[in-house]
């Protein structure tokens, strides 16, 4: 049976985020990964959480109880010690190790909450991803990275200030449910930054090609792939991607910088080859 591809899944208007995240992990780091056992783990977590909840509680109380269960009973926690470890961005590793970064822990929370019938979604605050549950007219906001603590809008504004330095008022748009595509793009961008920080050019290229699959019209991905090839010394590939970038976005500041700083290098390389 043909394996479903990552690009086929994320090209759909709506898709299952945990399933897509597992396909992402397979394509980037674990070529033999099978999503089914990990989806079964989410099913089992929902059964255990459901059994631990008071049967007569309302949606808001269940949302908070689930956050407590996942942190205290199931042991999911933020990996503060090794935050930049790429395994924090792979859902299979997060389910196995019970630790991750805000976005992957929120994916776990939302996946289990939905299996329990809660109207849960990811919430993409700038700099810190959280989870939200709609409980009637009430919006319950939770931080799976910090033990599942419940957040007020003021808490959310403080998180944004601490993570990205923004000290203005909270934009209500930030508290709206994050679309599936936005969640996967954020996961990929996290991975891209991690691999670039440690100088793992090959894995950074793999991630950037996944970004191009999701955003084929975004010229910045051509630029970044070209620059990685340039720094890695593969100048033929660098020239190919950077020329394509210059054709797509010729008037950008980055395009002008590329022309000023790299054209001479490519000219010397062409004369030598």
- What are the structural domains of the chain? 6-175 (3.10.620), 217-272 (no CATH)
Q: What percent of the chain stands above pLDDT 90?
A: 81
Q: Poorest-confidence range of 57-66, 213-222, 241-250?
A: 241-250
β-bridge pairing 128-135 and 138-143: antiparallel
Q: Quote the mean pLDDT of the chain.
A: 93
Alpha carbon distance 237, 169 (integer Å): 44
Nearest C-alpha neighbor of 89 from the set 28, 46, 1, 41: 28
- Tokens linked to 223: 């630029």
Average pLDDT over residues 194-223: 95
Nearest C-alpha neighbor of 242 from the set 256, 265, 224, 257: 224
Query: Measured on CA atoms in the order 7, 23, 85, 67, is the torsion positive or negative?
Result: positive
Q: Is the pLDDT of residue 272 over 60?
A: no
pLDDT for 239: 85
pLDDT for 1: 46
pLDDT for 270: 47
Q: Band of the pLDDT at 146, cuts 50, 70, 90?
A: very high
pLDDT for 264: 64
User: Residues 37-92: pLDDT tens digits?
Assistant: 999 999 999 999 999 988 778 999 999 999 999 999 999 999 999 999 999 999 99
> pTM, whole model, 2 decimals?
0.93
């Amino acid at each position: 049976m043909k394996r479903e591809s990552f690009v086929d899944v994320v090209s759909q208007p709506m898709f299952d985020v945990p399933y897509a995240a597992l396909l992402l992990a397979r394509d980037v780091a674990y070529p033999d990964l099978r999503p089914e056992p990990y989806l079964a783990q989410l099913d089992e977590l929902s059964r255990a959480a459901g059994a631990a909840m008071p049967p007569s509680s309302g949606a808001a109380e269940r949302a908070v109880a689930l956050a407590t269960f996942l942190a205290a009973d199931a042991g999911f926690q933020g990996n503060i010690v090794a935050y930049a470890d790429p395994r924090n961005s792979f859902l299979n590793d997060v389910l196995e190790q019970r630790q991750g970064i805000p976005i992957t822990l929120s994916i776990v929370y939302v996946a289990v909450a939905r299996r329990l019938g809660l109207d849960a979604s990811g919430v993409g605050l700038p700099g810190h991803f959280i989870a939200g549950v709609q409980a009637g007219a009430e919006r319950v906001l939770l931080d799976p990275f910090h033990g599942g603590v419940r957040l007020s809008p003021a808490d959310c504004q403080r998180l944004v200030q601490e993570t990205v330095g923004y000290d203005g008022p909270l934009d209500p748009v930030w508290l709206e449910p994050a679309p599936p595509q936005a969640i996967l793009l954020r996961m990929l961008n996290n991975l891209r930054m991690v691999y670039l920080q440690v100088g793992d050019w090959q894995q950074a290229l793999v991630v950037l090609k996944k970004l191009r699959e999701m955003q084929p019209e975004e010229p910045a991905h051509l630029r970044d792939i070209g620059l990685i090839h340039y720094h890695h010394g593969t100048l033929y590939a660098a020239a190919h991607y950077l020329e394509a970038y210059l054709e797509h976005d010729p008037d950008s500041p980055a395009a002008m910088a590329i022309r000023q700083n790299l054209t001479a290098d490519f000219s010397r390389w062409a004369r030598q080859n």
